Amino acid sequence: MLGNNKSNATIDKEQLELLKNAQKRIQQKKRLYIHFVVFLIGSVFIIILNLILGFGKTFKLFNTDWFVFAILAWLFLLLYHTFNVFITHKFMGKNWEQTQLEKLVSKQKKRLEEIKNTLPNQENSNTSEIKKKTDLKKNITIIAAVANNNAIGKDNQLIWHLSDDLKRFKALTSGHHIIMGRKTFESFPKPLPNRTHVVITRQADYKVPHEVMVVNTLEDALDVSRHDNQPFIIGGGEIYNQALKFADTIELTRVHENFEADTFFPKLDVSVWQETVSHHFKKDEHNNHDYSFISYTRI
């Protein structure tokens, strides 16, 4: 969708993601193994401490030596750790998500084949048309809070505090890829939970926490988010400017005031963007300004 010559880059990104996940799994299993060894050594040590060196010999619970309870408690922690590694992380981690996505994609491909077969005398070019249309179902969404004068930020910070806007941002973006410029990423105290961060920078070796993905172009950011049916472009000004042409939807919070700022949202072309939903809200104890939630779709 975003370029003609993407296949190699696509494979590299996929492999990179899988490699990252594999490394994560290896680390998790290594830590569990170390925990197991420490548990064995620790248990022997506690037994020697109690039975041979006589430490806490007189301290008993239910007529049983204390070391039995200590070891049982530790064993419980070890079992919990094992459960986490082999059940929680296995089934709810990235690998599991990836497998589910692949299953979904293969189902969609099958469905596409069925549709193709039901259409008589279709040329090959029609197949690629259908494919293109399926690709276009992805809903690339820009999400932004924008003042009346299009201000969005100053000194790499937001200018206002709107509790409801933050809640809406969380509700809409949770579980999705959030694509952002390096400066916006640096404006966060830490990565946001339950979202895949994709940070765009021109720097070759920009360092981020391991769960954050770094790319060098906006096209690559959209490419690594291609399995997400609604990746969000979350700013800032530079990225909004470049991303507008790729977006299908805009979720805008219009803050009904003018602000002094150093970063602005691009002016929307009304011949391209149609307002589909709009809800107006008055300021209250949690929101310092009047605001509206407005959805736009590409005409």
Ligand X SMILES: NC(=O)c1ccc[n+]([C@@H]2O[C@H](COP(=O)([O-])OP(=O)(O)OC[C@H]3O[C@@H](n4cnc5c(N)ncnc54)[C@H](OP(=O)(O)O)[C@@H]3O)[C@@H](O)[C@H]2O)c1
Residues that bind ligand X (CB under 6 A): 144-145, 152-154, 156-158, 180-184, 187, 200-203, 216-218, 234-239, 242, 263
Q: Exposure string (b/e) for 180-212, b if CB count within 10 Å is 16 or more?
A: bbbbbbebeeeeeeebbbbbbbeeeeeeeeeee
Measured from the CB atom, the residue of 85 and 243 that comes closer to ligand X is 243
Q: How many whole angstroms separate alpha carbon 225 and alpha carbon 206?
A: 19
Query: For ligand X, which is the closer residue by CB, 109 or 161?
Result: 161
Residue indicated by tokens 């002016």:
267
Pick between residue 46 and residue 162 the one whose CB is nearest to ligand X: 162
Cβ proximity to ligand X: between 226 and 254 the closer is 254
CB of 234 to ligand X, least distance (A): 6
Q: Specify whether the CB–CB gap between 228 and 176 falls below 8 A.
A: yes
Longest Cα–Cα distance in the chain? 90
Q: Which is nearer to ligand X, 95 or 242 (CB)?
A: 242
Q: Taking the complex as a whole, how short is the minimal distance between the CB of residue 31 and ligand X, in angstroms? A: 33
Tell me the closest approach of the beta carbon of residue 293 to ligand X, in angstroms.
Answer: 13
Q: Are 232 and 141 in contact (CB under 8 A)?
A: yes
Q: Do the beta carbons of residue 263 and residue 149 sit within 8 Å? A: no
Q: Could you tell me the smallest distance in angstroms from the CB atom of residue 160 to ligand X?
A: 8
Distance, CA of 290 to CA of 162 (rounded, Å)? 9
Q: In what order do the strands lie in the sheet with 141-147?
A: 213-215, 196-200, 177-181, 232-233, 141-147, 249-255, 291-298, 273-281
Nearer to ligand X, 67 or 240 (CB): 240
| Residue with smaller CB distance to ligand X, 67 or 177 | 177
CB of 129: closest distance to ligand X in angstroms?
30
CB of 139 to ligand X, least distance (A): 18
State both tokens at 283: 């300021």
| Cβ(230)–Cβ(251) below 8 Å | no
H or E stretch covering 292: strand 291-298
Cβ 146 to ligand X shortest distance, Å: 6
